[in-house]
Structure 1
Amino acid sequence: MGSPAFIARPAANGGYAGVHLQFDSSPPNMVPLLLAAYQFRFRRDLEALSRYLVDDVVFAWDEIGTDLLDGSPPGLLQRLTGGAQWPSRGMTGVMNLDGTPAEREVITQDNSVGHYWGYVLHPAGIEVISRQNDPRGPLISWDTDPRTHFSEAMALWMPGTPPPMSLPRDLPKLTPAPAPTAPTRTATRPPRR
């Protein structure tokens, strides 16, 4: 079952501009993936993350996948998904009623009706918008541990209030996976003649 959302960048007019996301869009699913992607796969490069999620998708996202966890510390995938893996998938082959290919629609604060959730990628963190409440939402810092639990109760995501989240106690600090090391070369003796 779809739970439409959008992922967006802040816009110059104070609003946002983004792209549609069809499935698995509630905060317990999306926020940990976005935090981990920013911290590990995209190495805190918000521009690269925004390009990937908002600009580079051809039409819209069908689903955001665990490929966003590439480069994450060992065990994070297991913690967030129980070990399940699936790829991010863009929507393809979307047609208008007359049979012509549909064009991408930019989601803004003016046309986001019908989207349950919104995720705006600000420099300071992720603004989570519950469309039940307001056109704005609380901000989750990019430094938040991706293992944090986030509520999916829309009524709790009110602007001007702390995000409804809780971090399990006594978790070890997450550290990036070590960079791969180059294979060691062994000296070889030239063949005898």
Structure 2
Amino acid sequence: MARPTDGTGYSGIHVQLDGVPSHHLPLLLTAYQHKFGRDVEAISRHLIDDVAVGWHELGTDLLDGAPSTLVAALTGGEHWPSRTLDHLITPDGSPPVRMTVTDETADEQDMQWGYVLHQQGIEVISLLHEDIGPLVDWATDPRTAFNDHPGAWSSLAPAPAIRATHSTPPQSAPAVPPAKAGAPRPATRR
């Protein structure tokens, strides 16, 4: 999880379970739209600044304040808390240090996905494929099913939404053809 820096880079915090787009994007979009009142700085502070070491995983507590029907559609009724990496034990007994991630260190940390919180939306970076990625607009419906294939997240194309999982069209879903066969499914814990 990161925020942009001056220029084209980013800086943020390590998420152990860095998560595929179909898991993280619904959580992040819903958190921005409901829990954090559409305030990019507030969600960035919570996810990046207020964490001492890093995140183990992001949980459904990010959905607090969202309508119960939306939460049920995204989680299938499953609930789990976000967990931090604050209680790590180092081999030498020293206190654990903050696991900062930058565009230079992401490859070294063996990460697969990066999520950069811009004012316009979430940049999704498939770190197995590229160092930059397309933006998913903050107004995108969280129930949109997203493609999890790393090659689909090219910086040269719009964000690869599959299709909405409800009868009304998403607010700002990218206009791209379906990229994956099969019925869309709600985000599940990974």
1:64 lines up with 2:61 in the alignment: no
Question: Which among 120, 125, 132 is matched to residue 124 of structure 1?
Answer: 120
Question: Which among 3, 15, 22 is matched to residue 28 of structure 1?
Answer: 22
Distance 1:78 1:171 in 2: 17
Question: Which among 41, 53, 68 is matched to residue 35 of structure 2?
Answer: 41
Conserved? CA contact 1:93–1:101, under 8 Å: no
1:115 lines up with 2:111 in the alignment: yes
Provide the TM-score with structure 2 as the length reference: 0.84
Query: Which segment drifts farther, 85-94 or 37-46?
Result: 85-94
Please tell me whether Structure 1 or Structure 2 has the larger radius of gyration of its CA atoms: 1
CA displacement at 1:32 relative to structure 2? 0.5
CA displacement at 1:76 relative to structure 2? 1.0
Residues 44 and 115 (structure 1 numbering): CA distance in 2 closer, same or farther, change over 3 Å?
same
CA displacement at 1:95 relative to structure 2? 3.4
Question: Which among 68, 73, 92 is matched to residue 74 of structure 1?
Answer: 68
Question: Considering only aligned residues, what root-mean-square deviation do their CA atoms show, in Å?
Answer: 1.6
Distance 1:130 1:152 in 2: 9
Q: Which residue of 1 aligns with 2:186?
A: none
Distance 2:86 2:101 in 1: 18
CA displacement at 1:94 relative to structure 2? 2.0
Distance 2:54 2:18 in 1: 14
Distance 1:136 1:173 in 2: 25
Q: Which residue of 2 aligns with 1:93?
A: 87
Conserved? CA contact 2:115–2:124, under 8 Å: yes
Conserved? CA contact 1:125–1:140, under 8 Å: yes
Conserved? CA contact 2:18–2:112, under 8 Å: no
CA displacement at 1:11 relative to structure 2? 0.6
Dislocated runs of 4+, deviation >4 Å: none
Q: Secondary structure at the match of 1:160?
A: coil
Provide the TM-score with structure 1 as the length reference: 0.82
Distance 1:82 1:48 in 2: 27
Q: Secondary structure at the match of 1:68?
A: helix
Question: Across the two proteins, how many residue pairs are aligned to each other?
Answer: 168
* Cα offsets for 1:70-123 (capped at 9, x unmatched): 111121111111011111111122233322122113200100011100000000
1:84 lines up with 2:75 in the alignment: no
1:146 lines up with 2:142 in the alignment: yes
Distance 2:170 2:139 in 1: 12
Q: Which residue of 1 aligns with 2:156?
A: 160
Conserved? CA contact 1:137–1:158, under 8 Å: yes
